Structure 1
Amino acid sequence: MAAPTRSPVPESSDNPGRASAQAAIAELGQVALVQNEIRDVLDVAMYLVCEVLDVELAKVLRQESPGQPLTLVAGCGWHADVEVGKATVPCDRDSQGWYTLATEEPVLYDNLAGDERFRRSQLLEDHGVVSGISVMIPGLYRPYGVVGAHTARRREFTPTDADFLRSVANVLGSAVENHRIREQIEGKVRYETALAECAQALLASSGEDRLMHALEALLISTQTTYVFVERNVMDPELGFCSQTIAEAEPPGASDSDDEAEYWNLTPWDRMPISRSYLERGEVFNLIPSQLEGVEYELYAEDPYPVKSELDIPIFVDGEWAGLIGFADEKVQREWSAGDISLLTTAAKMIGAFWERETARRRLEEMSQAKDEFLASISHELRTPLTSVMGYAQLLRDRDDDLSGPLRREAASSVLKQAADLEHIVNDLLVAAKAEMGELTVTRVPVNLSAQTSQVLEEYGGRSAGIEVTGMKVRALGDPARVRQVLRNLITNALRYGGEKVRVEIADRSGSALLRVIDDGPGIPPEDRERIFQPRQRVASTPGLTAALGLGLTISSQLAQMMGGDLVYRYEGESVFELSLPVSS
């Protein structure tokens, strides 16, 4: 590698023809202060070493970690086939690199082949090196590496030469540490800026692309080529899957539909290694070439394969909900602590964002359900009230014209509608008490046949077609609450069920059963689970109206409070089954 073209360094007054060591160190220090790239500082150092020490070869070797080979990161005078950044020399015991790092003093030699202190490297042997100096470059916690000056001529280097090279090593050590600190500060600023923009995007009041804008902010702060978010979903055909819901790439990156389609929906069964880390809440540093089995095959078939990937789990309400990841298509990289910290914080932000979105949707659903609930209750109240007011006006305005039977019929209608109003009000009161946690029930022996007869009497002529079958069974429960549940079920069957309604009483495996059955079309399967939930509306469904949601919710709560349950099933007929403990 040829030395960079520079202005000559002033000659030393003591050694004409050689550059001044003091001037060289001053220049190197100045360069270290103003240059942002450490590579530029190393290149200048190599030029100055060659100039001041009058050698053909100079090098800086870096050690990434103890025991690892030394990598040539800067140099001048080396053959063209020696690649800076890739060429390495050994650092095992008895090697020259290890010896230099171990002694922490300048190592001078005038006959490399005959020096018995260490083994010469193949790099120096290939260049015919005979004499030279090597000095450790200090670091904050451990040595950065080695700086060396070499020549193919037989020559004795002086202590002054060694002092100069040690000064160069000290300047380089300081420059490397300053560069590291500057990178940390700049990286921290980038990360904090990225997180601030990410949070701002996620907290925006509207916009479908909020998550994508957040990922774009994260991408700018790193050197990665791809950032993505996936969410766990349950697919009816593929089962438990990971679905890509947002992604970002640098400007100008290839946007492949094949790649997007390939990773759009991936079963977790094909990614067992990743899943094992993520569902435990652990960071997964994924190297596709090191995977095994089905997961290796999955990444090997990727139309645009990545070299390395960093995945961080996202949790919502304590449950693993998805992941956020960095991927690099160019290099197999070691993800920094800053990258991990950045993604971990972003994962928490996205988890909170998903929680907030879920809560917002629930609030909107609750608000809509409340409006529909109030509208349906108003309708349910209006029907009997209209009838009461009509008959009351009739009795007031035409009392003299009405015969005794007609007056009795009008009074009976008023009484029936008032009873319906009472039942609706009772349901509302029970619902209010249940929400406040103040609802109570008693548990005494209850004759289900007697309770059924009492409820049917309230319906008068409307109960004429209702068939009651079964045995005499005594259950444990609250008589008033049992009647309330049965009344709700019979009312629903009469209003919205089929033409035939019957009540069955049975005893099965220690449970007393009270079934209300009608031959109507039934409730669709998709609605059968939620009809017992508060304020659920299925008014568009034949066989069920909006108002029914209140009665079923209350009835289900009462059944459970009495130690039983209320369920629905369709067996060619609609069946609501109340189960209670049998009274011994």
Structure 2
Amino acid sequence: MEEIVRVLRDVFRVEIAEVLELFDAGKQLRARVSAGLKPVAFGRRVLNAAGDSQAGYTIQHNAPVIVTDLRAEARFRPSPTLLEHGVVSGMSVIIRGRSHPYGVLAVHATRRRRFDADDANTLTAIANVLGMAIERAATEAQLRASEAQSRFLASIVEQSEDAILTRDLDDVIMSWNPGAEQLYGYSAEYAIGRKARELQLRNLSERDYERLLARIRGAHRVRFESRCTTRGGQSVYVFGTAGPMYDDSGQHIGEIVVARDVTALRETRNQLMQLNNDLEQRVAERTAQLETAYREAEALSYSIAHDLRAPLRAISGYAKILEEELTPILPDTAQNYLQRMYGNAVRLGTLIDALLSLQRLSRQPLARTRVRLNEAVEDALNWLRSEQPGREIDIAVEDLGEAEIDPALIRLAFANLLSNAMKFT
């Protein structure tokens, strides 16, 4: 392009030649290349394509523009940059492309010149050649970019461990990557040109295969999991996706399929499911064993409590009788032994009752309700007084307020606390 503007200066015997390109969606023009403009002026040469400059006027009127005297020009506002360079006369034409203009080609003279239609036609012809060159360069750049992208995508397909294949609307395989060779056992030379169903999903019934194709050809991407047999006779499970494939015009030309071997994954999943089922069964068996042991322990505790209560009642009863009838004739030491025997028997009976009560409570859910704590303390004291008749103990209870709690458990807790306090008082 630099060579063109230098040639233009020689052909038209002018001091300045320039190419202005459209940018910003065709709204502005900027200097792309020039010969004769000072570097500072070239760098700031940006014009409004819809404005009143010579280049903008050329774009808007879609025709060559010839200027005889720039300072006297009334069709548009003279460019300050061109006036600074002493421009008097000049021409400008559109650089046309196949679908849209690329910009403006212009020549400028610092002395008065009368350019005619032949000069304008010559400049237009050069601009057309330049437009074709620009378009060819853009096409070649797009082609190179497309080829680079195709090579990049092809390398991804070649390096992928997944099976990637394409097939046309007749179910004939068009491409078959190394991943497909590895999965199905057929080489690309063998596979390409054959029916996809014969090599890929031959274990699938004809009806199911046609249904799968119908869904894909309805512009749907489909996920599938199926068992297939490789060329070596090995049965494998594959999971994949299949979707429609289109050409540049949007025409449906076939399908692309990506699949991978999930046999090991499926086996691992089945093993995990079996382990989970085994674990559930073992938990159920262990739970049943624990429930049986709990029931047996409960029965044992009741049996022990029943077996212990009878002798304890006898011990405490006889101790009480001996104490009442023999006190006058027994020495103090013997009386003390009888009192201790009776007291320990009573305490052991109370302990057995408390343990059984706690066991019964542990089987019941918490029944939370609002309880006045002073009333719970009073209930515990009444029970303790009945267990220890005749004992005088002063207990001061302040206002404890209310709490959201299980009434039975709080009474038992207070009874245990107060019993310990009374025991060591």
Same fold (TM over 0.5): no
TM-score, scaled to structure 1: 0.31
TM-score, scaled to structure 2: 0.42
Give 1 or 2 for the bigger CA radius of gyration.
2
